[in-house]
Structure 1
Amino acid sequence: MDVAYWIVAALLALFYLYAGGKKVVQSQERLQPMMGWVDRVPMPLVRVIGTLEVLGAAGLILPPLTGIAPWLAIAAAVGLVLIQVGGTAVHLSRGEAQVIWLNIVLLLAAAAAAWLGTTWL
């Protein structure tokens, strides 16, 4: 189970470091072609979402790696599940049902990481 957790957590962390980092540092114009929803969401909220994604990525890796409060990895995974629930809602509200597959995959992967993380407790 530990190996499975690390594979899922590493893949999620890489994705969220990239996507969240872009949301934190790039302008709305640079994000628009890749993330069409940023035109309907205030940029401070986009920055908060990006920051939460980066913190979630760190939360998946650092607590179990250091052994300090490993339950935080489960909390981070649950937080990432909630982000994807929100992302799915945004895409559906925009009539973008064809792109929610990524949200669903990320949601399932984060849920799997939360479940796999319970093996430490």
Structure 2
Amino acid sequence: MNLALWIAAGLLATVLLISTSKMFVPRDKIAAMGGHAAAWVLDFSPGALRAIGTLELLAAAGLILPRALDIAPVLVPVTAVCVAALFVGAATMRLRRGERATITPDLIYLAVAVFVAWGRFTG
């Protein structure tokens, strides 16, 4: 079980780190490269995208470092709950934009975050 939780946390951390690119790449370029699934970035200001990216960067660190360094490991499930909330927001945004076809990855990541939170809180 511990190995599965590490893999799940690593997957989420990787996804969150990749997603921080919105802090460095202009939003017009992201929207052009990602097609319809990435058009949501145009709904947010550059400052809001930087804030979201910063939170994702902190979440990636919070999913791995506390447990790996054995410093306040309770922060891992707390972070996983916050990541789950992030993906609930992402799924809600996609539903509001009528992007039902692109909601699947958000729901999968939400499930993985819930798994990590449950596994680390109970184990």
TM-score interval, smaller chain: over 0.9
**Partners of 1:63 and 1:49 in 2: CA distance:** 21
Q: Give % identity.
A: 37
> Deviations along 1:31-84, whole A, 9 cap, x unmatched?
213221011111211111111111111100000000000011111111110111
Number of residue pairs aligned between Structure 1 and Structure 2: 119
Match of 1:16 in 2: 16
**Partners of 1:98 and 1:8 in 2: CA distance:** 24
Match of 1:54 in 2: 57
Query: Is the 1:60–1:76 contact (alpha carbons within 8 Å) kept by the matching residues of 2?
Result: yes
Match of 2:116 in 1: 113
The answer as to 2:99 corresponding to 1:92 is no
> Deviations along 1:80-110, whole A, 9 cap, x unmatched?
1011111111111111011100110010001
Shift of 1:119: 4.0
Q: Which amino acid aligns with 1:7?
A: I
Match of 1:27 in 2: 26
Shift of 1:26: 1.2
Q: Which amino acid aligns with 1:103?
A: D
Match of 1:37 in 2: 40
Shift of 1:29: 1.5
Q: Which runs of 5+ in 2 are unaligned?
A: none
Aligned match for 1:76, one of 58, 74, 79: 79
**Partners of 1:42 and 1:29 in 2: CA distance:** 11
The answer as to 2:63 corresponding to 1:64 is no
Q: Which runs of 4+ in 1 moved over 4 A?
A: none
Q: Which runs of 5+ in 1 are unaligned?
A: none
SS of the aligned residue for 2:12 comes to helix
* RMSD of aligned Cα (Å): 1.1
